[in-house]
């Protein structure tokens, strides 16, 4: 097979209107590929929606992916990303997209430029949507007449290359479709390692020339009037490509992240039936991490547990709570139909439990352990008040409350706590142990029951 026959089929009947710039681009792309001598199976032509999307059937030996409107760059980026981690690699995605697709898929162009994936994008800018009937696009020049701007366009055209320059694109070029240099520019773009974009300015002969007084020469004037340059190629060779960055990242030593395995002890918990408790307090006061510690200690002692956390969407303000089930058997329902124990260490926590209905679900036998600073009088339940916030660090009050509850209900063996505290980061271990002890001591003293 001759090199020419590997790309654009010599017998191909181009499907474009007479004089349409797309025909020129397809031929120049084929010449560029011939010039580079790329094996056809190393190239994937990814086409967008529009007349430009008919190009893939013209290249019978290239991989072709015909995509959805504006998304061609994103699909091509996905292929390039995958190729970066595979062996052997060297896939070259080439995207063919129009000015309409470039705008609806602008985000994908920006991100591909940021990532510096090895993708070449050919933007076929004919200032309008052709296939759908000649509508105005974001790249239409001022005063451009289209089906949707019959009196001329009055919004300024988007300078796509400037925008992509600010997204760190490493290869930027703009050429007329009629330029003799187009094939060379496309070849340079394809050969360039990293993200490259060539904006090719052309005319839609179905609509553009029908409604606007334009010729090849005036096309150049329009571009220059917009302050754009033609023919120049800007490159930035210093930026590493995604492929290089990924390899560098993988070769760098990575911290080993051991899975925090909770040991199973031969010291079983004393729990015959499922128990459901709620721990509530203020965001940022380690309520949920105290609850997690309890669940881990329960796990070490052979129990099943579930923990559901809740907090306002802002994460770091207002209430914070955890709903916990502990059981000797696998747990089904994880909600709080009938809480057995409610530990509340701040006003924020109490208000939320009233608002979310937990307080109303308490029964006569529900244990409500409240911080002494909470004034509220629960409507039902066995209420115990302890000066947790005053005696312990408020940031540890939830863990102190858990310690106090377990002091009176010793369902977990001491070994379980030792085992999970040993897994805590060193700087936290002593604080956590102290918080538990304060709770145990306060409960032992039996302060202020009511």
Partner 1 sequence: MLAEGALAAGCRFFAGYPITPASEIYEVMMRELPAHGGLALSAPDEISSLCYCVGASLRGLKAMTATSGPGWALMIETAQYALMTETPVVVALVQRLGPSTGGATQGAQGDIGLAEFATSGGYTLPVFSPSNATESFELAVHAFNWSERLRTLVLLLSDKEVGMTSEVVDEEALQIPRLVNRKMATAKADYAPYAAQEPESVPAFAEVGGEIKATVTGSAHDAQGRLRKNSPQVIDVLQRLQRKIEAHAEEMALVRPDLDTDARCLLISYGVTARAARQAVSKLRTDGRRISFLQIQSLFPVPRKWLDGAAAGVEVVFVAEENLTGQYRAALTPYLSGKQIHGINRIGSQISPGEIARAVEGVMA
Contact residues for partner 1 (CB under 8 A)?
A: 40-42, 44, 54, 56-57, 60-68, 71, 74-86, 91, 107-108, 110-111, 246, 249-250, 254, 257, 292, 295, 299, 303-311, 313, 331-335, 337, 357
Q: What angle do CA 47, 48, 49 make, to 5 degrees?
A: 130
Q: Please identify, using beta-carbon distances, which residue of 334 and 449 lies nearer to partner 1.
A: 334
Closest separation between CB of residue 60 and partner 1, Å? 8
Distance CA 124, CA 413 (A): 72
Closest separation between CB of residue 197 and partner 1, Å? 17
Closest separation between CB of residue 79 and partner 1, Å? 4
Whether 141 and 114 have beta carbons less than 8 Å apart is answered as no
Distance CA 39, CA 48 (A): 23
DSSP one-letter code for 265: P
Of 353, 303, 360, the closest CA to residue 326 belongs to: 303
Gyration radius (Cα) of the chain, Å: 34
Whether 158 and 103 have beta carbons less than 8 Å apart is answered as yes
Sign of the CA dihedral with 223 first, then 225, 227, and 231 last: positive
Of 130, 83, 125, the closest CA to residue 103 belongs to: 125
Q: Please identify, using beta-carbon distances, which residue of 154 and 333 lies nearer to partner 1.
A: 333
Q: Please identify, using beta-carbon distances, which residue of 237 and 254 lies nearer to partner 1.
A: 254
Of 132, 131, 134, the closest CA to residue 149 belongs to: 134
Q: Please identify, using beta-carbon distances, which residue of 235 and 305 lies nearer to partner 1.
A: 305
Q: Please identify, using beta-carbon distances, which residue of 140 and 327 lies nearer to partner 1.
A: 327
Q: Please identify, using beta-carbon distances, which residue of 35 and 111 lies nearer to partner 1.
A: 111
- Torsion angle of C-alpha atoms 374, 377, 381, 384, degrees rounded to 10: 40
Whether 144 and 210 have beta carbons less than 8 Å apart is answered as no
CA diameter of the chain:
96
Q: Please identify, using beta-carbon distances, which residue of 71 and 389 lies nearer to partner 1.
A: 71
Whether 292 and 307 have beta carbons less than 8 Å apart is answered as yes
Residue 14 has a CB neighbour count (10 Å cut-off) of 15
Q: Please identify, using beta-carbon distances, which residue of 233 and 331 lies nearer to partner 1.
A: 331
Closest separation between CB of residue 311 and partner 1, Å? 7
Closest separation between CB of residue 180 and partner 1, Å? 31
Closest separation between CB of residue 377 and partner 1, Å? 26
Distance CA 351, CA 37 (A): 72
Q: Please identify, using beta-carbon distances, which residue of 133 and 335 lies nearer to partner 1.
A: 335
Q: Please identify, using beta-carbon distances, which residue of 228 and 246 lies nearer to partner 1.
A: 246
- For the chain, the distance separating the N- and C-terminal CA atoms, rounded to the nearest angstrom, is 95
Three-state DSSP state, 147: coil
Cis peptide before 88 (omega within 30 of 0): yes
Closest separation between CB of residue 98 and partner 1, Å? 16
Q: Please identify, using beta-carbon distances, which residue of 127 and 319 lies nearer to partner 1.
A: 319
Length of the chain: 450
Closest separation between CB of residue 107 and partner 1, Å? 5
Closest separation between CB of residue 398 and partner 1, Å? 16
Burial class (CB in 10 A: 0-12, 13-18, 19+), 427: exposed
Three-state DSSP state, 220: helix
Closest separation between CB of residue 184 and partner 1, Å? 26
Closest separation between CB of residue 352 and partner 1, Å? 12
Beta strands in 372-413, from DSSP E residues, in sequence order: 382-386
């Amino acid at each position: 097979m001759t090199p020419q026959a590997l790309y654009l089929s010599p017998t191909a009947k181009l499907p474009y209107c007479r004089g349409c710039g797309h025909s020129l681009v397809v031929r120049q792309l084929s010449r560029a590929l011939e010039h580079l001598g790329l094996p056809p199976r190393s190239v994937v032509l990814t086409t967008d929606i529009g007349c430009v999307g008919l190009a893939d059937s013209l290249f019978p030996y290239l991989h072709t992916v015909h995509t959805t409107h504006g998304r061609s760059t994103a699909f091509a980026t996905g292929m390039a990303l995958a190729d970066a981690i595979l062996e052997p690699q060297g896939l070259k995605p080439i995207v063919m997209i129009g000015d309409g697709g470039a705008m609806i898929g602008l985000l994908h162009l920006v991100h591909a430029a940021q990532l510096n994936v090895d993708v070449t994008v050919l933007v076929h800018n004919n200032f309008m949507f052709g296939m759908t009937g000649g509508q105005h696009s974001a790249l239409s020049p001022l005063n451009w007449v289209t089906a949707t701007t019959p009196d001329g366009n009055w919004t300024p055209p988007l300078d796509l290359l400037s925008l992509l320059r600010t997204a760190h694109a490493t290869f930027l070029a703009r050429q007329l479709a009629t330029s003799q240099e187009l094939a060379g520019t496309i070849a340079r773009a394809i050969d360039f390692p990293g993200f490259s974009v060539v904006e090719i300015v052309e005319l839609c002969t179905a609509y553009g020339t029908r409604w606007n007084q334009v010729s090849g020469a005036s096309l150049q004037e329009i571009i220059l009037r917009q302050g754009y340059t033609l023919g120049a190629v800007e490159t930035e060779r210093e930026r590493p490509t995604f492929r290089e960055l990924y390899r560098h990242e993988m070769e760098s030593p990575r911290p080993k992240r051991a899975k925090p395995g909770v040991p199973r002890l031969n010291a079983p918990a004393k729990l015959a039936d499922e128990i459901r408790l709620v721990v509530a307090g203020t965001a940022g006061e380690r309520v949920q991490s105290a609850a997690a510690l309890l669940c881990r200690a329960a796990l070490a002692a052979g129990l099943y547990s579930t923990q559901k956390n809740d907090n306002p969407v802002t994460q770091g303000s207002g209430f914070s709570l955890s709903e916990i089930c502990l059981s000797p058997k696998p747990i089904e329902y994880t909600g709080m139909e009938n809480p057995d124990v409610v530990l509340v260490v701040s006003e924020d926590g109490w208000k939320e439990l009233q608002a979310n209905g937990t307080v109303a679900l308490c029964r006569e036998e529900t244990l409500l352990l409240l911080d002494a600073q909470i004034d509220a009088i629960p409507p039902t339940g066995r209420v115990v008040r302890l000066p947790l916030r005053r005696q312990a660090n408020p940031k540890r009050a939830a863990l102190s409350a858990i310690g106090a509850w377990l002091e009176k209900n010793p369902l977990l063996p001491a070994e379980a706590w030792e085992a999970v505290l040993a897994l805590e980061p060193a700087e936290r271990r002593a604080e956590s142990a102290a918080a538990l002890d304060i709770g145990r001591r306060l409960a032992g003293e039996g302060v202020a029951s009511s």
